[in-house]
């Protein structure tokens, strides 16, 4: 990739499993979303936050908000909203609940982006793709919109429809997903 990607932090979930707004949950003294924003801002510009409600800017007025394309349609709605606004070649998408995400790991992902590739997706030690830590090329937009319109909301289904997709192994710690307060790293 020759230019910096645009960053998109997915923060539109309801945090039902967590029990409270996990974006603001403290990890090592800082809100998760601030930790994720710092990592993304080190490698991408601009950085947007995808939310369900336009009044919900979790990082304040200095960080642009992108409203989910279809409220309540999950992460795919955020990805589609980001792709619809995208001017760069690539959209770096990360979930707001990856508090140990680091810029060096994101550089590894970004560096794997090549012309003709539809997506570059992180993979942990267990081998499973992590579509909420990925770079999506702007050409993915039409396929993503079609999946959203057909209510095929799983990002794994979107990945299956893209060709080619590259997978990049990232350290397990940076892919730690916090869905419950008990998942919080020390």
Task: Please tell me the predicted confidence (pLDDT) of residue 72.
Answer: 86
Q: Which CATH architecture has domain 6-183?
A: Alpha-Beta Complex (3.90)
pTM, rounded to two decimals? 0.93
Residues 6+ apart with CB under 8 A from 90: 1, 3, 5, 6, 110, 113, 135, 136, 137, 138
Confidence check: pLDDT of 181 > 90: no
pLDDT single digits (tens) 94-144: 999 999 999 999 999 999 999 999 999 999 999 999 999 999 999 999 999
Coil, strand or helix: which one is 9? strand
Token duo for residue 3: 């230019």
Give dist(CA 114, CA 140) in Å, integer. Answer: 14
Band (pLDDT 50/70/90 cuts) for residue 60 is low
Token duo for residue 88: 């760069």
Q: Angle 99-62-26 (CA atoms, 0-180°, nearest 5)?
A: 25
Give dist(CA 82, CA 67) in Å, integer. Answer: 9
Give dist(CA 100, CA 157) in Å, integer. Answer: 26
Torsion of CA 11, 59, 140, 164, to 10 degrees: -80
């Amino acid at each position: 990739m020759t230019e910096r990607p645009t960053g998109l932090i997915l923060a539109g979930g309801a945090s039902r499993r967590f029990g409270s707004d996990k974006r603001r949950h403290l990890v090592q003294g800082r809100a998760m979303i601030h930790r994720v924003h710092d990592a993304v801002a080190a490698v991408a510009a601009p950085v947007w936050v995808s939310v369900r409600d336009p009044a919900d800017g979790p990082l304040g007025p200095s960080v642009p908000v992108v409203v989910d394309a279809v409220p309540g349609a999950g992460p795919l709605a955020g990805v589609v909203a980001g792709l619809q606004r995208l001017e760069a070649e690539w959209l770096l998408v990360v979930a707001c609940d990856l508090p140990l995400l680091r810029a060096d790991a994101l550089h590894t992902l970004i560096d794997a982006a090549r012309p003709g590739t539809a997506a570059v997706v992180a993979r942990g030690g267990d081998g499973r793709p992590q579509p909420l830590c990925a770079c999506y090329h702007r050409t993915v937009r039409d396929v993503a919109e079609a999946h959203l319109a057909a209510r095929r909301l799983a990002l794994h289904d979107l990945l299956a429809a893209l060709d080619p997709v590259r997978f990049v192994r990232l350290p397990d710690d940076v892919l730690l997903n916090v869905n419950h307060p008990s998942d919080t790293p020390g």
